[in-house]
Structure 1
């Protein structure tokens, strides 16, 4: 069963979806895993890799184990942190599941294992509810975003196959319901490239703008480029585009963001002096507002 894209699209950034929509999303996730599994190694989305009990630590609660895991992680004992977090995750603690997912996705103190990361993130999605815990909202949104990324590219050698349509569903849900800026950026990229959804530059600009306003530098860069050049029928706003490109350039971090600097340099060099001056004036205004 495929998730209804039209139903998901009706969820605005400020609105919560109905319970029926949540049921559809989670059922779609479970269905995707079952349909894509190899018969000899089928895994249900609700049956995960066993989590060690870590009973020797004698944790009295998942919260205590989580605190111990965070403390040990910050102290540099990542193996100890993983053991504590695994206990909390075994009790269904969302933050512990999310942290373990990130650790396995990045090979941070544990062997790199995207499938384990996928399954930890899936457990968060499985357990999410309409009402939700505000403290876990960011964690849940991030989990749906991570699932979208895995569905987009697939996980080689596993039952998780590339599925851009499913990736769209995950990004759209995380972007609309949780307002996750990474999901908003990824959703915009799908609309820009026509990947998993019909290409729509205006929708791409809309989602880039939502992420850009939250300080997402790649979104700021691509939105700025679209506005400077009026790409895909998006109304040309050269000065505003230069402002976004400058903010993106100022927030660029390391070599992974070299493309942002290159995009800024290209557009700034092609801009008129009047547009540059107007952009600098607006940037001074933005800076003065931030300092208040």
Structure 2
């Protein structure tokens, strides 16, 4: 059976273990808890998740560590994310990078319960390669980031990966620019409901001379976006809006209403 596997970490050893040994922890699971270091990985994961929800992040970290040592992918991802966010532990992007790398290096069976964790690990690694990690061996590598986004976009249909890949293709980050491929990925992502992709897709159409249709997509995106995306979408839409005549503006606004309800 085919496995999706990640490769190509330059200068890194993908086989590096997490070095999680039970004797290395100062903390101890509550002796009255239903789990112990000898419990199964899923029971430890559930205990860690419950502890996290209750605000007992120290217990969550320890439970996740024991579960990760036993090979539980979800626990390893949760622990990596806590390090990436500085959530319950001291923020350490390089430590998070190594844990995400462990997940990515193991691959995943298509359709398995670990697929989401695997894709999220690819996305996190791509972000790290885009900006690098100060005071670590990880330097910006846009080509590697683009490769990771392509893997998540193509093999797993992740709409955020499709959107980010498209932006790199538009600007030529990490390789040659390719407007045609960028439009393909933007179109796929926006059909699956990615509002940012809809807006950028519209902007590309606008730049190509499809004034009304492009402005309509940008307007539809602005009308349905999350607050976190409003500023950049609004700036893009308003700039285009200022460049067209009143007749085309009215047509675009009328068309945007139907675009917002469909995947035209």
What interval of TM-score do these two structures reach, taking the shorter chain for normalisation?
Answer: 0.7 to 0.9
Which of 110, 126, 143 aligns to 2:121? It is: 143
Equivalent residue number for residue 251 of structure 1: 225
From 125, 135, 140, the counterpart of 1:162:
140
Of the three residues 128, 135, 150, the one matched with 1:172 is: 150
1:126-177 per-position Cα deviation (integer Å, ceiling 9, x unaligned): 1114x33433222212211221221222212111122222222211111110
**Structure 2 gap ranges (5+):** 30-34
Q: Which has the larger radius of gyration?
A: 2
What is the CA deviation profile of residues 53-108 of structure 1, one whole-angstrom value per residue up to 9, with x for unaligned ones? 47745052111122122222222222322222222222222222222222221222
Residue number among 50, 65, 71 corresponding to 2:19 in the alignment: 50
Question: 1:279, CA displacement in angstroms?
Answer: 3.4
Distance (whole Å) between structure 2 residues aligned to residue 244 and residue 85 of structure 1 = 44
How much has 1:288 moved relative to structure 2?
5.2
Query: Contact 1:164–1:195 at 8 Å: present in 2 too?
Result: yes
The structure-2 alpha-carbon separation of the partners of 1:112 and 1:215, relative to structure 1 and needing over 3 Å to count, comes to farther
1:190-205 pair list within 5 angstroms: 190-205=168-183
Aligned twin of 1:80 = 59
Give the whole-Å Cα distance in 1 for the aligned partners of 2:62 and 2:213: 49
- Tell me how far apart the structure 2 counterparts of residues 139 and 262 of structure 1 sit (CA, whole Å): 34
The one of 72, 83, 91 aligned to 1:93: 72
Out of 251, 254, 258, the residue aligned to residue 281 of structure 1 is 254
Give the equivalent residue in structure 1 for 2:206.
228
RMSD over aligned CA atoms reads 2.6
CA contact (8 A) 2:168 2:174 kept: yes
Q: Deviations over 1:15-41 (max 9, x none)?
A: x9x66xx56x42x23xx134xxxxxxx
Change (3 A) 1:200 1:65: same
Provide TM-score, normalisation by structure 2.
Answer: 0.83
Q: Report what 2:100 is aligned to.
A: 121
- Counterpart Cα distance in 2 of 1:288 and 1:132: 32
Unmatched segments (≥5 aa) in structure 1: 1-15, 35-43, 231-235
The alpha-carbon distance between structure 1 residues 47 and 278, as it changes in their structure 2 partners (threshold 3 A), is same
CA contact (8 A) 2:217 2:256 kept: no
What TM-score do the two structures reach when normalised by structure 1?
A: 0.76
Contact kept, 8 Å, 1:61 with 1:88, in 2: the verdict is yes
Q: Runs of at least 4 residues of structure 1 off by over 4 A?
A: 286-290
